[in-house]
Chain A
Amino acid sequence: MATELVGTPVKRVEDRRLITGKGRYLDDIAMPGMVHMAIVRSPYAHANIKSVDTSIARSMPGVVDVLTGADVPYNPLPMAWPAGGSAGIQNNVNTPRALATDSVKWQGEGVAAVVAETAEQAADAAEAIIVDWEPLPAVVDAEAATKPGAPQLHENAPNNVVFEWSVGDKDGTAEAVKGAEVVVKQRLVNQRLIPNPMETRGDIGLYNPGTDEYTIWMSSQTPHIQRLLLAAFVMGVPEHKIRCISPDVGGAFGTKIFCYADYVLVLLASKRLNGRPVKWVESRRENYQATIHGRDHITYLEVAGKRDGTVDAIRVKTYANLGGRLSTIGPGIPTTLYARVLSGCYRIPNVYAEVVGVYTNTAFVDAYRGAGRPEATYVVERAMDLFADEIGMDKAEVRRRNFIPPDQFPYENPSGLGTASGGAKIYIDSGNYEPALDKALAAAGYGDVAAAKADAKARGKLLGIGLSSYIEVCGVAPSKWIGAVGEGWGAAMWESANIKVHLTGKVVVTAGTQPQGQGHETTYAQVVADELGVPMDDVVVQHSDTQGTPFGYGSYGSRTSSVGMTAAIKAAGKIREKARRYAAHMLEASVDDIEVEGAEYRVKGSPDKKKTLQEIAFALDLAFDAPEGMEPYLDETSYHDTPNCTWPFGTHIAIVEIDEATGVVDLKRYVAVDDVGKKINPMIVNGQLHGGIAQGVGQGEDGSLLSGSMLDYAVPRAEWLPTFELDETVTPSPVNPLGVKGVGEAGAIASTAAVANAVNDALAPLGIRHLDMPLTAPRVWKAIQDARAGSSNGHGNGKEAKA
């Protein structure tokens, strides 16, 4: 079969509407009779609610309804991924409220909602709701929250602990650390981030009193999941009475995976208003307060090994800040998706991780681009640099010596996804890490760094180079493994696709995955067009509506290409088989004698006896002459449960210059060599890498906790970024027929550590051993001042920093 489209940089089919302003995002939708909702949010990080007075608001112009927590029969919202697995972990669960009733746990938690004829009226009336607050002491730091005397958030969570979870060989790791030639210790902070998709969230709820059906338009990555959660775990209505539709989604990066309070509120309000559509669109300020944040780890690291460069053990204790209540899969991120890939691309025989999930008076933390894996990469890549510095070995060489060798695959890592289960195991199936490292070193001019540093020094600049060799686990995940291990959604993780070949020969692909900018309408079409041998223009891809698409678990974790598109390939295979059988009937040949090339179905040895897919579809759809036992129409659905995850890898290198006088960090060059397996569309793959790198670089360089708006939170601008220099190695994944691994998160997973390592490398000549993120100018400047003053606290000589 000809494969002409897969592997080529086809222009995206979704772009015409987007470049002409004809995309249709949530806020672009208006309906007759539509009313608008505004949510009243807590100004306090921690407070009891003594009373809520809605009387003034109710009397204001245009107001049609006011809701408080007492009006919502659907409290609380679900949490679907407790920390789980090996040890029967206790999770002290407190999940979000549709509207808070007794108390609020973070600034921005919703306490009331106003519905009015116009958005202006709703905003005005929301200001008139009077809440009698009893402010309480607040704690925002995860480690501090676990200490005696810290403010307590929830009665069922003493010391604010959500869970204490561990993975790996505790005794063996302790032994390895104890007997090691070299042990390096460091406290590491991976600060909280606000993901900032350009489109904020929003939704429109519509209840039909005539059918008792609910429809919700939502800016979501997971419409099918939301239908399941809303039906079974929130509203107690059957799934077939709820329809979820995601229109064009203006970026998500994880934030739009989850079950949010506003979904419930717009549906409830529409029902209370006898079926008027109710729209809520999040302001950017609300997005900062009440949509999930990412990262926020404090980690105590120990890395142990030999002076020959061998790393024998990594031991960490991580405090993971999960916010004031648990978001939908919050606990899963710092456990399964972090600690289980902690050893990265290295053969480190002893790994032990303790993770303490913690409540604090902050917005909830959940999966943001990379979700756990950037945090793991940051730890292990800082560990490699700190270890190299300690033994006086080149940082690239230390990495090289510890890579999992190519002949060791499939490789089961010691904290890995397989260790907890009795049966199904997830292992690192493939990899060849050294070529990517070598390519990156060559591209970055690694050998000439000393000269570059001297040149920079002469200009009053400190030049640093930072390496980040990463792997990520993508394409989650075999349902069997989830069932056995108890880590995951608490649901399966397969994907589905349906293909119909219409009477005209045009092909419609529907899938349960949900794009947010990744170009699924293009890449699915490339794959299916190749599979069926039809032009890409003849293939249309539909998604995003639970009515009309087969069930899917959605798009996150870089899983659509490896899991979802494999389902499409299987469905195309079924289409081909049925077409072949019907071709045999049409051509009066035996099925075994029909050979398929592209869209042509031919009788072997008689090349003139052939039918095209279009001819077959036409005949079979009309079914005037269908043989006994053959159903009309070419319409096939497949479900694909992946046998394993996929494992992209690579090496990224950042080169920075620091202005010694101001502490300003300037990213001069960024080299990325990635192995994401085969590429369906290399143009889209590179775009994903660019975007991921920019987001990860943004974390390394800035990001504030106290930010109320984009005036305080620095989103990277075009002028701050260099032209990224990309290269590749290609190790096809053995897990799926396309050989793809997934690419949505790779850039974000690698880049933060690369920048942090580069800044630390630049500061090393001053005797600074480790400086935590965010690497803001004031922080870098302070470190330089302290180093010059000979101060050893904080930044230098942190060897004994472990508490």
Chain B
Amino acid sequence: MIPAAFEYDRATSVEEALGLLRTHGADAKLIAGGQSLLPLMKLRLARPDRLIDIGRIEALKGIRRLDDGRLAVGSLTTYADLIASPEIKYGLFRDALPTIADVQVRNRGTIGGAIAHADPASDMPALLLALDAELVCRSAHRGQRTIAATEFFEGPFTTVLDPDELLIEIRLPAPSQHHGSAYRMLEQPASGFAIAGVAAVIGQTEAATGDTFDDIRIAVTGVGDHPYRAAAVEAALVGTPVDAPSIAAAVGAVCEGVEVMGDIHADREYRAAMAVVMAQRALEGARARLT
């Protein structure tokens, strides 16, 4: 119940945060909303020597529309902010957000915190993978870089972020009338985390022919040791009408190439099977949003 002692710094600007990160780097842990980190610290499963509190950095909060129509979501934007924002029109966000944790946690938990924490059963990474989001990161010594969400997650609780790097914002594609998306998740009843969660985006680019879809993105969480895109399913669905037969024919490959996790709540067999069911339901949901 009581965290181990730590040193505390509060950054009030991005620059201050980057400076603190440069000084303390690997010894420090960033805290934003703290909704993932603090429970671990209370159980003393995490015991950072130092916390750098970035929760007050106003520049990292909020959602703005870029000139090209994309959305830039500040890394400290809370789940509650996302729910309340009229800009967040993506179907998969509308599916996922109300089911993430509970209202108190959504009021405090941030999108950046969830991504940087990289829990392998977290919902948000799957949504970003399916949207082909980009993550803007910055460090004092190497400056700013933009990382594709598909390149960001490396393993359980592991990302490509350097120890001195700060996640600044998440860039989401411009909402499109030609795309439909959905998120379906089977939750572990106690924690609410995903046993298997699948985010699906289907769409038509200008090159699409007839009733078929040529832009298919399927992202899976809770199943492997980090969230991933189910490339085989995507490939199988490109050029199809994403109807019941084509979905049924494709979703079986949702765990292809992935080492499926097993734990006390769901063994590998069940988890893999649920990934298939959730993929099917997410695709059906995405398709339904286009009719």
Contacts and interface: CB of A to CB of B under 8 A. Distances in A.
Nearest to A38: B2
Contact of B264 (A663, A706, A720, A785): A706
A711 B190 contact: yes
Contacts of B270: 663, 777-778, 781-782
B179 to A, nearest CB: 26
Interface in A416-447: none
A131 interface: no
Given A714-B189, A714-B190, A124 B5 contact: yes
B170 to A, nearest CB: 26
A123 B277 contact: no
Contacts of B290: none
A217 to B, nearest CB: 19
A202 B173 CA distance: 53
A261 interface: no
Given A662-B274, A702-B189, A707-B190, A712 B265 contact: yes
A285 interface: yes
Contacts of B207: none
B266 A712 contact: no
A484 interface: no
Given A124-B5, A709-B43, A704 B265 contact: yes
Contact of A124 (B4, B190, B277): B4
Nearest to A702: B189
Of the listed residues A663, A714, A777, the one surrounded by the most CB atoms of chain B closer than 10 A to its CB is A777
A120 B190 contact: no
Contacts of B1: 123, 283-284
A712 B265 CA distance: 8
B265 A127 contact: no
Interface in B201-215: none
Interface in A458-483: none
B186 A712 contact: no
Given A124-B4, A711-B190, A715-B190, A704 B264 contact: yes
Interface residues of A, number: 30
Nearest to A282: B1
A778 B1 CA distance: 31
B43 A778 contact: no
A713 B190 contact: yes
A777 B273 CA distance: 12
A633 B16 CA distance: 76
Interface string B17-59: 0000000000000000000000100011000000000000000
Interface string A693-731: 000000000101011011111110000100000000000
Contact of A662 (B186, B264, B265, B269): B186
Contacts of B264: 704, 706-707, 712
B87 interface: no
B267 interface: yes
Interface string B187-209: 00111000000000000000000
A777 B43 contact: no
A664 B281 CA distance: 15
Contacts of A714: 189-190
Interface string A122-137: 0110010000000000
B43 A127 contact: no
Interface in A634-668: 661-664
Contacts of B190: 702, 704, 707, 710-715
A564 B16 CA distance: 66
Given A778-B266, A782-B270, A285 B5 contact: no
B184 to A, nearest CB: 10
A343 B269 CA distance: 40
B191 A711 contact: yes
A119 interface: yes
B127 to A, nearest CB: 21
Given A704-B265, A712-B264, A285 B273 contact: no
B51 to A, nearest CB: 16
Nearest to B44: A127
Contacts of B267: 778
Interface residues of B, number: 20
A777 B44 contact: no
Interface in B258-275: 264-267, 269-270, 273-274
Contacts of B186: 662, 664, 777
A162 B52 CA distance: 55
Nearest to B193: A711
Contacts of A715: 190
Contacts of A123: 1-2
Interface in B233-291: 264-267, 269-270, 273-274, 277
A782 B277 CA distance: 14
Contacts of B274: 662
A711 B35 CA distance: 13
Contacts of A662: 186, 274, 277
Interface in B132-189: 186, 189
Contacts of A709: 43
A627 B190 CA distance: 69
A709 B269 CA distance: 25
B244 to A, nearest CB: 13
A284 B4 CA distance: 17
A663 B269 CA distance: 13
A720 to B, nearest CB: 8
Contacts of A664: 186
Contacts of B189: 702, 714, 720, 776
Contact of B277 (A119, A120, A661, A776): A661
Contacts of A661: 277
A28 to B, nearest CB: 16
A710 B264 CA distance: 14
Nearest to B190: A714
A702 B186 CA distance: 15
A538 B104 CA distance: 42
Interface string A658-684: 000111100000000000000000000
A664 B4 CA distance: 39
A285 B39 CA distance: 12
Contacts of A127: 4, 44
A36 to B, nearest CB: 10
A702 B188 CA distance: 11
A776 B274 CA distance: 14
B191 A712 contact: yes
Contacts of B269: 782
A291 B27 CA distance: 37
A200 to B, nearest CB: 10
Nearest to B278: A662
Contacts of A704: 190, 264-265
A429 to B, nearest CB: 41
A117 to B, nearest CB: 14
A778 B265 contact: yes
A720 B1 CA distance: 28
B155 to A, nearest CB: 21
A623 to B, nearest CB: 55
A538 B44 CA distance: 51
Nearest to A705: B264
Nearest to B189: A714
Contacts of B265: 704, 712, 776, 778
B3 to A, nearest CB: 9
A748 B191 CA distance: 24
Contacts of A776: 189, 265
A119 B264 CA distance: 32
Contacts of B266: 778
Question: When A and B form their complex, which 7 residue pairs have the shortest distance between CB atoms, in order from nearest?
Answer: A714-B189, A714-B190, A778-B270, A711-B191, A283-B1, A706-B264, A123-B2
7 contacts: A127-B44, A285-B43, A662-B274, A712-B264, A776-B265, A777-B270, A778-B270
Given A120-B5, A124-B5, A781-B270, 14 more contacts: A119-B2, A120-B2, A124-B4, A285-B43, A662-B186, A702-B189, A704-B264, A706-B264, A711-B39, A712-B191, A776-B265, A778-B270, A782-B269, A782-B270
